Amino acid sequence: MQTRGSMLVQEDYAGWKSSGFKGCQGKLLMLEQEDTTTHQIFFDDNADPGDDCFVDPRDIKTGEQIPYDKFIDMYVVQAHPARVILEEDYFIKMIE
């Protein structure tokens, strides 16, 4: 039997601030890139390019950071807060 789930991550702003706002100290997202049965998607309004991205995607096996161009719009999607509130099907549209 297959189960489904979801997870909510609350950021640790104080910890991130103390790191000097480094992207590599942002919200950790462990990804098993070889898993073809599960697709993790992290929506974040600060999924900005390069070091300005608040999400820190890493390979679950190696612990290595995944480059921005490999995770953006695949595992990490930039969310737009106003659209999230105003559009009932916002997340569905973004996944499609």
List alpha helices for the chain, DSSP H.
13-18, 68-71, 81-86, 90-95
pLDDT score recorded for residue 23: 65
pLDDT higher than 70, residue 1: no
Instruction: Give the pTM.
Output: 0.74
d(CA 44, CA 46): 5
pLDDT score recorded for residue 80: 93
Q: What is the pLDDT of residues 4-34, one digit of tens each?
A: 777 776 777 787 788 777 766 778 889 998 8
pLDDT score recorded for residue 91: 92
pLDDT band with cut points at 50, 70 and 90 for residue 46:
confident
What angle is formed at CA 15 by the lines to CA 82 and CA 17, rounded to 5 degrees?
Answer: 65
Question: Which of left, alpha, beta for 21 (phi over 0: left; psi -120 to 50: alpha)?
Answer: left
